[in-house]
Structure 1
Amino acid sequence: MFHGSPVPTPGRPCSKCKDDGWFPEANTRSRLFKVGSFVDWDVKSLLLFIAVFLITADYIKNRRQASFPPGPWAWPIVGNMFTLDHSRTHESMTQLAEKYGDVYSLRMGQEWLVVLNRYEVLKEALVNQGDSLVDRPVVPLLDKTTHGLGVIFSNGHIWKQQRRFALSTLRFFGFGKKSLEPVILDEFTFCAKHFSSFEGKPFNPQKVISNIVSNVICSLVFGHRFEYTDERFMRLIRWFDQSLQLEASLWAQLYNSFPLLVNPLPGPHKTHIHITNASKDFIREELKEHKKNWDPSDPRDYIDCYLKEIQTSEAQADSTFDEENLVICVLDLFVAGSETTSTTLRWALLYMAKYPEIQTKVQDEIDRVIGQSRQPSMDDRANLPYTDAVIHECMRMGNIVPLSLPHITIRDMQLGGYTVPKGVTVVPNLTSVLFDKNEWATPFTFNPGHFLNKEGKFVKPAAFIPFSAGKRLCLGETLARMELFLFFTSFMQRFTFYMPPGVKPKMEPRFGVTLAPYPYEICATSR
C-alpha cells in the first residue's frame, strides 16, 4: 500500500503520482496549456493596446481646436465618412448646416473639410478672400491619372499658364462670340432631324443631347464634329457620365482617404482609372491625326495652337506646355464644355414635359419675337425675358454641380468667426444657395418668376451662382450660357415635348459630381 491506497498496476502510476509529477507526458501538456493561454492573452492585450493607442493618437491628432468650425462627432480613423448619405451628399450637407451653422467641418479619413453654406458666406470666401482659396486640393483618385496637370485640378504656375492659354485660344476660335452661333445652330439642325425621325414616338434624348453639346466643343478643340452613329465617340461620352458618378461615390471617398490601402484592391476605382486612361488614348489618337497635316502658320483649332505653343516655348525654363499636358487639358475642356450643358438641357426638356403650361408660354413668346421663318440668335435674348427666365430656372432647379469643386486654403483665413487653417479642403455648397428660402420666393418649386421683375423683365439675382464664383469660376460658363439659350430656344421653336401616355416624369436626380436626371423617354412632335 502506498499513500494509503491499493498497489497500482505495474507501469501505471496512481493518480497521486500523476499529481506529484510522476507522469511526465501529462505534466508537459499542462505546462503547454498554461503557456498557450498566456500567449493568447498576451496577443489580445497587445491588440487591445494597439487599438487604444491608435484611437488615442487619432483623437489627439484630429481633435477640433476651439477656433475651428464645429461639426458632428467623428468616428476614429474614418471620421464622418459614414455620417453622410452618399447617394444625396448635397442634401446631407445642407441639413447639417441647420444644426452646425453656415460654416461647419467634417472629417473624411484623416483630412478635414470645411463646408460653406449660403450666398453671403460663399461670396466672402470665394470672392472677397478668393486669393486664399485659389488652389485645388490633391484628389488621389484624379491625381492617379492626371498627375496635377490640366486646367481644372492643376495649381500654381501650371494652372495660370494653362487657363490663360485656354481662354485666349478658345476666344480666338469664337468662344462665347457671335461667330460661334452658326456652329451651334448647325448642330441643332442635325439634332432636329434625329428628333423628327421618331414621329412623336417615345425615345431617350440623352445620347443625342450629349452629342450635340460635345460637338460644339469638339469643333473648337478638334476642328470637326462627330456623327451620332460614331460608336467610338458615343462610348467616350458614356465614359464621362459613368466617371462623374464614380468620383462622387463612397468608394471614391474611401480611395481618396486611404489611397495606399484601397489602391491594390479590386473595386470601382479601377473602373475610373481605366475610363480616364481610355479617354486619354482617344485624345492621343486625335492628336496623332492632327500632326499628319499640321501647319504652324495656319492653326485650325485648340490642338493646333497648343502644338505651336509647345514648339515656341520649348526653350523657356518655366514652360508647362507638353503633349501630356495637352491631353489632360483637352479632357478637362470636354468636361467643362459639355457635361453641365447637356445635363441642363435634359432637365429642361423634362421640366417642359412636366409643366406644359410653361412650355406653351415659352413657345408663344418665341413665336411673337422670332416666328418660324428663321433660327434664333443671341440678339434675340433681350427680347425673350420669359424664355430666358425659364432657362435660368432649369439651371437653378437642376442644381447641376451641387457641391461645386473643392478648394484648399493656401493660408490661414477667417470665415464666419472661425479660423480655417492652411491646407484645409473647402467645399462650397451651391445647393444651400440655390435653394435658400431667404433668397428665393418658392425655392423648391419650379418658378420662372424668380428671374422676372414686376414689369416682366429678366433679372438675375446675386444668389444665382450655378457656375460657382471667384477666380476658379467654371471655365465653360460663357459657352454654356450661349449653348443653353440657342439650343433651348430652338427646341421650343421647333417641337412640343410631352411624356409618353401614362408616364409621369421622374424628377429625382441621380447623384454624382453632377446631378443628372435618370434616363427617361420623351415624345416630341413638330410644331
Structure 2
Amino acid sequence: MWVLLTIMVILLTLVYRSTRKPKGFPPGPPRYPLVGYAPFLEKHLVHKHMWRLSSTYGSVYGIYLGPERTVIVNGWEACKEALANDDLNGRPINTTLTLRDDGLQKGVMFTEGELWKEQRRFTLHHLRNLGFGKRSHETVIHEEASELINEIENANESIQLQIKLGVSAVNILWALMGGTRFHRDDPELITLVDKLNQMFRAGEVSGSIVDIFPFLHRFMPKTSNFGTVMDGFLEVKKFIERAIDEHKASMDTDNPRDFIDLYLKEMQKNNNNEESTYNDDQLVALCTDLFSAGTETGSASVSFAILLCTLHPEVMRKLQEEIDTVVGQDRLPSIDDRPKLIYTEAVLTEVFRLRGAAPLTVPHCAVRDTVLQGHHIPARTMVMINLYSIQMDPEYWGDPEVFRPERFIKPDGTFLKDERMIPFGKGKRVCLGESLARMTLFLLFTALVQKFTFSMDPAIPVTNTEGIAGFTLGPPPFKVFAKSRV
C-alpha cells in the first residue's frame, strides 16, 4: 500500500513539475505535461496562430513545444529588439538537421558561435567575389530568363510556373556554387526541384514531432512529413556530394572556377590545422543549406508575384505600361533600370509584405540569459520571431489584407522605403542570400511580365492566396495561360 502511494506521489510530483515554467518567463498558454502546447498549435499557417495568441498574452509570450522552452515575438518593436539582441543569435538543436548531418549541426543556417562566424564570413566574401547579387551576375539570370521565356512560348496549354521557376532558380544559384548550367528538361534536375518543393511544404518551421521527441524518428514511415523532409534533404545531399567529387577530380588550385573550388582550396590550405572548421562534411552541409533555401524561396517569391498580379490585372497593366516606357521590348529589363521602375519596385515590395517566403525567421536561440521587452529569457530558450505580425499589422498598414502597391509610392511619385519591410530579417542573422534573391526576383519577374500577359486557368481555381506553410511559405497550386505580348 505504502509503495503504491509513494509511486503515485512521485508521479504526481513529476507531472506537476512538468507543467511549471521558469521564474520570470513570459506569460503564455498553459504548459501541459510532456507535450506542452504543441498539440494545440495550428500547423496550417502557424504564423497567423502565433500572432493571434499575442492579443491574449502580449507581444512576447512563452510556450512549451514538448519539453522545449519557446518564446514567440510579435510586433515591430519587440521583433526589432529581438533581432538586435546578440544574446538571441544562437540556434536551437534541430533533430532533423542533426540526422541530416550525421549527428552534428553543420553548415551555416543552423550553426552558431565561432563555426558560424567563420563559415558565414568565408561564404559571403567569396560569393560576392563571384558576383553574388552583383551586376556581373545579371548575364546568368538573363540567360535563364530567355530560356524560360522560350519554354513558355512553346507551351500549348496552361503552365504550372513554380516547377519551371524552380529550375531557373537552381541554374542561377548553381552557376556560382558549382559553375555549370543544367538543361531545363534534365529529368534529374526536375526530380530534384520537385523533391525540394515537397520538402519545404512538408517541413514545420516550429519543429516537427521528431524535433520535440527525437526518439520517434526511428518509427516514422517514409510517407510521413518527416520522411518527406529527410528524403528531400538526402536527395540534395547526394547531388552536392557528387558535385564535390567531380570538382576534386578536375579542379586547378591556381584557377578556382566557383564556390566549391574556392572552399576545397581553403581546405587544402588548412589541411594541417586540427582546429580548422573547413572539411568535407562542413562543405556538404554548407552547400546543402545554400542550395535548399536559395532555390525554393526564390521560385516561391516569383510564383507569388505572378499569381497576385494575375489576380489583379489592373496591376499587371500598370506594370507593363511602365516597363514598355522605360525598357521597351527590344531587350530584357536590367538592374540599371530598377531606379526608374518605381511602380515595379512598389509591386515587388508589396509581394514581400503580403506573401513573404519567411513569415517566421529561422528559429533563434538564447546563447545566455537575457531580457526581451522586460521579460526574462533563460539561456538555450528557442525564440521565434514573427515577421508576419509586422507585415500584416492593421494599425500600421490600415488595410494589410489588400494587395495595394501604391502604399509604397510617395505623393511625388518616388518610391517609399519603409523600415518595417524586413522580409529577409535584420541584424547579424539576416538572410545570407538576400541580395541574390532580390536581384533574381526583379529580373525574372520583369522579364516575364514584359513578354507575357498571364491569365488564370479556371480549371484550377485559386480560392485562397495565403499559401501553403512549411519550412517557408509557398504559393497554392495554380496554372496560368501566357499570352505573348510581342
For normalisation by structure 1, the TM-score amounts to 0.87
Deviations 1:401-444 (A, max 9, x none): 11111011012211122111111000001111110113213111
Contact map agreement 1:499 1:523 (CA 8 A) in 2: yes
Shift of 1:55: 4.8
Inter-partner Cα distance in structure 2 for 1:143 and 1:502: 42
Q: Partner of 1:373 in structure 2?
A: 330
- CA 1:344 to 1:54, structure 2 compared with 1: closer, same or farther past 3 Å? farther
Q: Look up the equivalent residue of 1:112 and give its one-letter code.
A: R
- Aligned: 1:240 with 2:228: no
Name the structure 2 match of 1:139. Answer: 94
Any conservation in 2 of the 1:207–1:234 contact (CA below 8 Å)?
A: yes
Question: How far, CA to CA, are the matches of 1:310 and 1:138 in structure 2?
Answer: 26
1:202 to 158, 166, 171: 158
Letter in 2 for 1:255: V
Which residue does 1:213 correspond to in 2? Answer: 169
8 Å contact 1:283–1:330 — kept in the other structure? yes
State whether structure 2 residue 208 is matched by structure 1 residue 253: yes
Bigger mean CA offset, 385-394 vs 261-270: 261-270
Question: 1:240-288: CA deviations, max 9, x gaps?
Answer: 22222332089x5221111124434434434433332232111111112
Q: 1:282 to 1:501 in 2, by over 3 A?
A: closer
* Counterpart secondary structure, 2:376: strand
Q: Distance in 2 between matches of 1:440 and 1:412?
A: 34
Q: How big is each residue's C-alpha offset from its partner over 1:362-388, in whole Å with a ceiling of 9 and x where there is no partner?
A: 100111111111221111111011000
Q: Which has the larger radius of gyration?
A: 1
Q: CA deviation at 1:234?
A: 1.7
What is the aligned counterpart of 2:149 among 192, 205, 216? 192
Deviations 1:8-43 (A, max 9, x none): xxxxxxxxxxxxxxxxxxxxxxxxxxxxxxxxxx79
**Equivalent residue for 2:31?**
74
Post-superposition offset of 1:58: 4.0
- CA contact under 8 A between 1:215 and 1:225: conserved in structure 2? yes
Match of 1:400 among 348, 351, 357: 357
C-alpha distance in structure 2 between counterparts of 1:52 and 1:434, whole Å? 49
Task: For 1:224, give the aligned amino acid.
Answer: T
- For 1:92 and 1:333, how far apart are their aligned partners in 2? 29
Unaligned regions of 5+ residues in structure 1, if any?
Answer: 1-41
Identity %: 38
Measure, in 1, the Cα distance between the counterparts of 2:456 and 2:228.
34
Is the Cα–Cα contact under 8 Å of residues 151 and 159 in structure 1 kept in the other structure?
A: yes
- Distance in 2 of aligned mates of 1:214 and 1:158: 27
Query: Which of 283, 288, 303 in structure 2 is aligned with 1:331?
Result: 288
User: Partners of 1:82 and 1:468 in 2: how far apart?
Assistant: 28
Structure 1 residues 123-522: aligned runs within 5 Å? 123-127=80-84, 129=85, 131-146=86-101, 147-199=104-156, 201-248=157-204, 253-266=208-221, 267-501=224-458, 504-506=461-463, 507-522=465-480
Paired AA for residue 187 in structure 2: E
Give me the whole-angstrom Cα distance separating, in 2, the residues matched to 1:49 and 1:214: 61
The residue identity in structure 1 corresponding to 2:208 is Q
One-letter identity of the residue aligned with 1:526: S
Equivalent pair of 1:495/1:524 in contact (CA under 8 Å): yes
CA distance in 1, matches of 2:406, 2:188: 42
Q: 1:393, 1:118 → 2: CA distance?
A: 18
Given that 2:410 and 2:416 are in contact with CA atoms closer than 8 Å, whether structure 1 keeps it comes out as yes
Count of matched residue positions in the alignment of Structure 1 and Structure 2: 480
| Distance of 1:350 and 1:371 partners within structure 2 | 23
Equivalent residue of 2:325, what SS?
helix
What SS class does the counterpart of residue 72 from structure 2 fall into?
strand
Alpha-carbon distance, 1:214 to partner: 1.4
* Amino acid aligned to 2:196: F
Residue 503 of structure 1: how far off its partner (Å): 5.6
Q: What is the TM-score of this pair, normalised by structure 2?
A: 0.94
Paired residue secondary structure (2:39): coil
Q: What's the offset of the Cα at 1:397?
A: 1.1
CA 1:257–1:501: 2 relative to 1, 3 Å: closer
User: Is 53-62 or 88-97 further displaced after alignment?
Assistant: 53-62
1:38-53 to 2 correspondence within 5 Å? Answer: 46=4, 53=10
Match for residue 523 of structure 1?
Answer: 481
Shift of the alpha carbon at 1:52?
Answer: 6.0
